[in-house]
A and B are shown apart, each in its own frame.
Chain A
Amino acid sequence: MAKKLMKGSEAIPEAAIQAGCRFFFGYPITPQNDIPEYMSARLPKIEGGCFLQAESEVAAINMVYGAAAAGARVMTSSSSPGVSLKQEGISYIAGAELPCVICNMMRGGPGLGSIQPSQGDYFQATKGGGHGDYHLIVLAPSSVQEAVDLMHTAFDLADIYRTPVMLLADGIIGQMMEPVEFHEHEKRELPEKPWAVTGYDPKSGRKRSIVNSLYIEVDELQEMNDRLQARYKEIQEKEVMVEKYNTEGAEVIICAYGTVARICKSAIAICAEKGVKVGLIRPITLWPFPEKELNEVMAQDSVKRELTVEISAGQMHEDVRLAINGAKPTDFYGKPGSYTPTAEEIAEYILKTREA
């Protein structure tokens, strides 16, 4: 199929539809309004498709909860402050063990913050976000094509592990146009959904489905939590995705994700011109975090240190430090809020700290 030049926030909903998403519930917020706009134009024209602009983020995520309970492929999208509002619902969906996809086009925070790109929601996305012991699978695209490909992965992973999956992107991915191809995706084996609430027929012999996240009995709640933790362990073992770039024989390893990782690739080219070999580890799954892969690269004799680059105060850097666990020095470059670092300044920082 021919390549099309598309904005991230149009390519993402198109990919979702192609991945079988038929329900979208959302509430507007910059910089992701093109996603609901696209869905509002496309979904009503598709058989069984439903787009609904809810009265609030809280309503939207609970509509997602309902559609997921009925076994549908469903998604919502928002940007940072809106995603904060959805956290209660996301915790319920995780507790009820339901699949859905949530897209967060991160903008600067805290509070209403700014409308420019940011990576300040890493903690919220990867550590749970709402209450209780749960995780989301968190996917971080660094190009429009990758965002398209990851939408398919997101819906499949959600179904396989009965968990909410978050596509965590910065505003740049949403606003940028790049050529994309909508090609066939490898089909993963998907489980049936016997738990779905699709109407009870006493004559069917099927057990009554009940979707709920309330477990009054301590033992029952324990059982649900054990089930979740076992699933998270399996996800950590099987679903890590990471890009290694220029890592072999590198002196410095950068750890960065999303658009920032691409800016780092330009910084790596600048460093190479000065004769300094720098590599990049780009987590594609932020949760599960690619601990093993990072350590394999760090273990090379050539690697002297690690540098995390983020548009945050160093949120992912905490996971990097936990993973490396003191084996080699780590460092951080970046600012919280909405300041996108330039390739030139990242390269300058690497070269400067090398001399020091």
Chain B
Amino acid sequence: MLWTNIFAGFGGQGVLLIGQLLAYAGMYEGKNVSWLPSYGPEMRGGTANCSVVVSDDPIASPCINMANCVIAMNRPSLDKFEQNVLPGGKLFINSSIIDKKATRTDIDVYYVPCNEIADSLNNPKVGNMAMLGAYLEATKAVDSKSVLDALLYKLGEKKAHLIPLNEQAIELGKQSVRDQIK
């Protein structure tokens, strides 16, 4: 099993965090993982992305050019990274704020209304978790339980009360993928 992923969006959408949660979850499950953020001038321009690899075998390159999965949280990310999905790979689009459809026909595309899901939970911050849920449903790369363990570690005991909210967001993200597969 080898999942190579690019998570991209603008600063504040939590793309680096969901990438990290995936890496932690993979590690908890005994897999090899790497998380590499962009830290160049593009980061200073307000957009953020990270490459995450989850693999049964030792990871060769942590630098991803062509990925199994691309997660685009905003329009510039879709424009930039749609071409980086491997044929047969998966593309996740935050349809709440991306008004464009994918142009590729050789990949699976999932439209996830992240912001609407977050709004339905009365917390605009959990849109990223909805996207992560969608990713987990479509890939089964790691178990959501491991992701929640990772989130608890990141939040710490003081913020543990936020876990159920995040769990709901993940579940709604998963549901949106199930609805599209049907």
Whether the Cβ atoms of B63 and A340 lie closer than 8 Å is yes
B34 on interface, CB distance cutoff 8 Å: yes
Which chain A residues lie closer than 8 Å to B156 at the CB level?
Answer: none
Q: Kindly state the separation between the CA atoms of A343 and B62 in the bound complex, as whole angstroms.
A: 11
Which chain B residues lie closer than 8 Å to A179 at the CB level?
Answer: 27, 32-33
Whether the Cβ atoms of A5 and B62 lie closer than 8 Å is no
Q: Kindly state the separation between the CA atoms of A222 and B40 in the bound complex, as whole angstroms.
A: 47
Whether the Cβ atoms of A343 and B23 lie closer than 8 Å is no
Whether the Cβ atoms of A115 and B62 lie closer than 8 Å is no
Whether the Cβ atoms of A343 and B65 lie closer than 8 Å is yes
14 more CB-based (< 8 A) A-B contacts, given A5-B27, A259-B62, A266-B61: A5-B20, A31-B39, A114-B41, A115-B39, A115-B40, A175-B36, A176-B62, A179-B32, A262-B61, A262-B63, A263-B60, A265-B61, A269-B60, A343-B61
Instruction: Kindly report which residue of chain A lies nearest to residue B153, judged by CB atoms.
Output: A5
Whether the Cβ atoms of A177 and B35 lie closer than 8 Å is yes
**7 chain-A/chain-B pairs, Cβ below 8 angstroms:** A5-B24, A116-B40, A175-B39, A176-B62, A178-B59, A259-B61, A343-B61
Also in contact, A114 and B62, with CB within 8 A (given A5-B27, A176-B34, A179-B33): no
A344 on interface, CB distance cutoff 8 Å: yes
Which chain B residues lie closer than 8 Å to A340 at the CB level?
Answer: 63
Whether the Cβ atoms of B61 and A263 lie closer than 8 Å is yes
Which chain A residues lie closer than 8 Å to B39 at the CB level?
Answer: 31, 115-116, 171, 175
Q: Kindly state the separation between the CA atoms of A268 and B58 in the bound complex, as whole angstroms.
A: 14
Give B18-44 as 1s and 0s: 1 = Cβ < 8 Å from A's Cβ atoms: 001001100100001111110111000
Whether the Cβ atoms of A178 and B65 lie closer than 8 Å is no
Whether the Cβ atoms of A178 and B34 lie closer than 8 Å is yes
Whether the Cβ atoms of B23 and A263 lie closer than 8 Å is no
Give A140-183 as 1s and 0s: 1 = Cβ < 8 Å from B's Cβ atoms: 00000000000000000000000000000001100111110000
Instruction: Kindly report which residue of chain B lies nearest to residue A144, judged by CB atoms.
Output: B34
A209 on interface, CB distance cutoff 8 Å: no
Chain A: minimal CB distance from B33 (Å): 6
Q: Kindly state the separation between the CA atoms of A127 and B3 in the bound complex, as whole angstroms.
A: 40
Give B90-133 as 1s and 0s: 1 = Cβ < 8 Å from A's Cβ atoms: 00000000000000000000000000000000000000000000
A302 on interface, CB distance cutoff 8 Å: no
A198 on interface, CB distance cutoff 8 Å: no
Give A172-209 as 1s and 0s: 1 = Cβ < 8 Å from B's Cβ atoms: 10011111000000000000000000000000000000
User: Residues of A at under 8 Å CB distance from B?
Assistant: 3, 5, 31, 114-116, 171-172, 175-179, 259, 262-263, 265-266, 268-269, 340, 342-344
Interface class of chain B by DSSP: mixed
Chain B: minimal CB distance from A256 (Å): 11
Whether the Cβ atoms of A114 and B40 lie closer than 8 Å is yes
Q: Kindly state the separation between the CA atoms of A344 and B66 in the bound complex, as whole angstroms.
A: 8
How many of chain B's residues touch chain A, expressed as a range? 20 to 34
Instruction: Kindly report which residue of chain A lies nearest to residue B30, judged by CB atoms.
Output: A3
Whether the Cβ atoms of A265 and B60 lie closer than 8 Å is yes
Q: Kindly state the separation between the CA atoms of A115 and B60 in the bound complex, as whole angstroms.
A: 24
Whether the Cβ atoms of A177 and B61 lie closer than 8 Å is no
User: Residues of B at under 8 Å CB distance from A?
Assistant: 20, 23-24, 27, 32-37, 39-41, 59-63, 65-66
Q: Kindly state the separation between the CA atoms of A166 and B143 in the bound complex, as whole angstroms.
A: 41
Q: Which 6 A-B pairs have the closest CB atoms?
A: A265-B60, A342-B65, A266-B61, A177-B35, A266-B60, A263-B61
Instruction: Kindly report which residue of chain A lies nearest to residue B38, judged by CB atoms.
Output: A175
Q: Kindly state the separation between the CA atoms of A297 and B58 in the bound complex, as whole angstroms.
A: 23
Instruction: Kindly report which residue of chain B lies nearest to residue A175, judged by CB atoms.
Output: B39
Q: Kindly state the separation between the CA atoms of A262 and B60 in the bound complex, as whole angstroms.
A: 5
Q: Kindly state the separation between the CA atoms of A343 and B66 in the bound complex, as whole angstroms.
A: 9
Which chain A residues lie closer than 8 Å to B36 at the CB level?
Answer: 172, 175-177
Interface residue from B20, B33, B40, B63 paired with A342 (Cβ < 8 Å) = B63
Q: Kindly state the separation between the CA atoms of A178 and B27 in the bound complex, as whole angstroms.
A: 9
Which chain A residues lie closer than 8 Å to B41 at the CB level?
Answer: 114-115
Interface residue from B27, B32, B35 paired with A176 (Cβ < 8 Å) = B35
Whether the Cβ atoms of B63 and A5 lie closer than 8 Å is no
Chain B: minimal CB distance from A348 (Å): 12
Which chain B residues lie closer than 8 Å to A31 at the CB level?
Answer: 39
Q: Kindly state the separation between the CA atoms of A25 and B86 in the bound complex, as whole angstroms.
A: 46
Q: Kindly state the separation between the CA atoms of A65 and B66 in the bound complex, as whole angstroms.
A: 46
Which chain A residues lie closer than 8 Å to B23 at the CB level?
Answer: 5, 177
Which chain B residues lie closer than 8 Å to A263 at the CB level?
Answer: 60-61, 63
Chain A: minimal CB distance from B56 (Å): 14
Interface residue from A114, A172, A178 paired with B63 (Cβ < 8 Å) = A172
Which chain B residues lie closer than 8 Å to A342 at the CB level?
Answer: 63, 65-66
Also in contact, A177 and B40, with CB within 8 A (given A259-B62, A265-B61): no
Q: Kindly state the separation between the CA atoms of A8 and B37 in the bound complex, as whole angstroms.
A: 12
Instruction: Kindly report which residue of chain B lies nearest to residue A176, judged by CB atoms.
Output: B36
Q: Kindly state the separation between the CA atoms of A207 and B41 in the bound complex, as whole angstroms.
A: 55
